[in-house]
Structure formats: C-alpha cells, structure tokens
Chain A
Amino acid sequence: MSVSTLNTSNPHQQDIQNILGQANRVILGKNGQIKLALSCLLARGHLLIEDLPGVGKTTLAHTLARTLGLHFQRIQFTSDLLPADVLGVSVYERERGNFKFHPGPIFSQMILADEINRATPKTQSALLEAMEEQQVTTEGETRPLPTPFFVIATQNPAYQIGTFPLPESQLDRFLMCIQLGYPDSKAERELYLGRDRRDMVADLLPASDPGVLPALQRQVAEIHVADALLDYLQAVLDYTRQTGRFKTGLSPRAGLAILHSAQAWALIEGRDHVTPEDLQAVLPAVISHRLRSIGETHLSDKESVQELIAAIPIP
C-alpha cells in the first residue's frame, strides 16, 4: 500500500469539493465554518450559529441551501411568533366544509430560524420538537417533514434583554454550535470589492444532483471508526465527567454526536476512516454548547474545549 492510494477515491468526492468551492466563493475566509456546517448537515444534525448580526449567518444558510438544491425557508423569530406560525394551521374552508391544513414554513428542507432566542419558549419548543422528531403533530394529526431536513438556528449572544435563552436541554438538540466571527482583513476587502452577496446567492445553481446529499449522508455512517479512536473518544468523555472542570460531563448522546460529526468531517476530508484530527476538528463545535465550566475560569467555552483537547493525550 502506498500513500498515494491511501485516500480511497469516493465517487462523490468531487461533489463535496464543488459544494465547498461554491460556498467558499460566496462566503469568504470561512472555510472551517463552512466545512463544519456541511458536516453537520451530512451527519443529519442541526446547526446553531451564535453570533452578531451581519457576519453572514443568513448568507451561509442560504448559500448552503442553494448549493445543495434544497428548498429554503427563513423564519424570523420574534416574541409574538406563535407555534402555529411555524408549524402551520388548519383553516376552515367554507366551500368544502372542512378544515384544510396550511403547512407552516417548517415544511421545507432547510430552515433558517433567525434569532431563535427572541421567541417564547412555547414557540421554541415547537420548533425543537419538530427538529427532533422529524415530524409535526397538530390537531391530532402527524405530518412528516421533508427529507433532508436541516435547521440552522441563529442566536445573538450580545443582547440578551427580553430574550428567552435556550435551556441546556434544548441546546442538546443542536448537533453543533458555531461562531462565524468577523472575516479577516483580506477576506473583508474582497467582500467589499466583489459583487453583492445577495445577488450571488440568487444566481447560485445547485452544485450537485438532488440524490447526492442523501447518498453522502448514508456514507457518513460507513466511515470506519477504529478501536484506538473510540479509546480517544472515551478519554474525552471521561475527562469531562471526572476532572470536575465541568458542571456535568458529556452524555452518551453527546458522545454519539461527536462520533457522527467526526465521521462526516472525515468524509469531507476524503478519508474512509476517522482520525484523531477529525475528532479534534469537530470537538469545539459539538461540545462547547453542551458543557459548562465551573469555578472561575476566564476562558470562553471554545477556549476551555481547546484546553480540554490539549489535556487528553491521544492513546
């Protein structure tokens, strides 16, 4: 076996490269975040973006939707938004004499739930339940959501007044939580010089066939996970449970989340197996919103995850 053949060629590898390339052309200097978002999507999870307005959250969601050829809906969450506004409502039609269900915006393949923390807990949980169960139950009737179904929620961390922060148990429903952050100066210059992003998004064509995304999602599950890697994963989980740095350790569900994300990341990297690097790449995004440090650490959650990585030797 030689190194050149190490990366087993994947029939859809080109598709992945196309998707990434297209997204990178629109959103500049955010390759890592785009890859994380894509791996979240491939691992069939939902994404939470915590950041200030105007750094390109909407653009990212929109670009991904267009590139993948998914039906996209944006829901702006406000404090007066009702569950029915999200899920849909049955309206009595006098001509027919019965109720007709008008599906809400949730019945699309990709949803951008903007500023999710502005809505009341009732509305939030309506969305989150739908996310979890992949179906909507209203008035005793259960309606499946389309597949693939992918929610990108955004949350503004800076202005918390009058908001309803998502409780920890709800945060767990998001596979990953990422920050976009400001672009670096080079990317920012390019942004100013280039075309209007909204136009660019509108002009985007799907970079792959509609069947590619489900195929890729199926491939994620086949990415090989070696025993040595599981040892590493368990070391990470044990560390969060036993060192006493964190209020509660990671749950087995979080462990699965790490594993699936790392598999998706490995797929994007063009590998048929997960390496510790893959796991480390997704770890901050997967666990930072699931852990809360105790004591008086002056570190942000991301930093404390970096410290956690540095504290665990790779077995």
Chain B
Amino acid sequence: MAEDLVLDTAIRDWVLIPLSVVMVLIGILRYFVSKLMRSFQAPDPKIVKEGQVIIRARNLRSAANFIPARAFRARRIYFSNEENGLLHVPKGQTQNAQAQMFSDPNMAMDMMKKNLSMIIPQTLTFAWVNFFFSGFVAAKIPFPLTQRFRSMLQNGIDLSTVDVSYVSSRSWYFLNLFGLRGLFSLILGEENAMDDTQRMMQMGGFGFDPTKSLSAEKDGLDIVQHEWVLPKFEQRAEAVLRKLVK
C-alpha cells in the first residue's frame, strides 16, 4: 500500500460529523432523561451513622499517638468491644447487599432506571451505526501507529492491508462513546459530566458491603500500638524556644 487512500469528502460530511453530533446529542438527551427519572432518596440514618463511625475510627487510628494512653484505651474499647462496640458487627446481621436489594423493591427499581437510561440508548445507537455506517473508512489520523491499534481503530473492517492510521466508522463511534467526557463537562457543567466508562465502573461497584469496612476498621484499630508522642514534643518545644530566645 504505497499510495494513500483518498477519502471521499462526502464521508466526512455524512458519516464523520453526523456521528459525532449524534453522540453528543444523545449524551445530552440522556442527561436530561436521567435527571427526570432520578428520585430523591432519603439517606438511611444507619448508613450515615456507619460512615461517620468509620471516619471517627479512622481518625482515632491515625492520630492515636496524640492523646494520652488512657483516653486512647477508653476509645478503643468503645469502638471495638464485643458486646456493643460501634464497630462490632454481630454475626447474624451480616446481611449481604444482594439480599438487601431484593428485599427493597425501591432499590431494585432505581438500579433498573439507571440501567435502562444507559443500556437502551447505547444499544440503539450501536445498532444504528452498524446498520448505516458499517464498513466505512471514516477518517485518517495524521500519524502512523503500530499493528496493535488495528483492533481499536479498524473495528468492522477485516482488511489486514489497510494502514492502521485509518479509522473505521464503528471505531469512530467507540472513540466518541468513551471520549466525550470533556465536552460534556463543558456543556453540562463540571459535576454532571459522566461518560460511559464511569457509568460502567459505577455498576461494577454495586454490591459494596458497609459491614465489611466496619470490621476491617475494627481489625485495624485492634492492632494499633499506642505510643504517646507528647513527651517528644517537650524536647522539640525546647529546641524551638532555644532558637527563639537566641
């Protein structure tokens, strides 16, 4: 392939640009649809409290050496005793999130709404791109790339002889799907921008179990060795004052 392929300008006008525009519009539309469907969910006091307990226990663990030994021991017992310590999770209560989800229909409903707003438009656009634009070479990037990029940039074209720097239309769709975050943050405001990669991560993160972090924090607290640092501060203060007085 010594000579370059010449891409029809009509491809630019009717494939490359429309595809990008449609992706942006769909992103915006989805933002507004999900805003409509979002239901305000009052946070559960128990979950809020657990979060706060974890923060406080973490503070205790990291700054333990700054308070006297007696104060530290009292707090450790308060947090991690076996009877009613804040971090102690009774065996029977370790209810996993999956079961909780099924017991609470609202939660399942919320999940479904989130899923629907993500999957349906994605499937539809993919089908649309596949139907109308399959097999186009839509663009050429201005620098050469190695063979490894072929699967990324030439999805849908099974020609091993085409130079890798040509981008197929389907790949252009994928690039848009994952790369429009910056644009959305410009259009919709910083905190609203969420691209599909993030959405997927969010999905994966579901099923997080707060009781696990409670018991992890408890284990961490149990092994903390208390060593009061304040006596050292006396020497340091002396050094500071000596310098000051001099």
Q: Do A and B come from one complex?
A: no
Chain A positions within 8 Å of B, measured between CB atoms, are none
Chain B positions within 8 Å of A, measured between CB atoms, are none
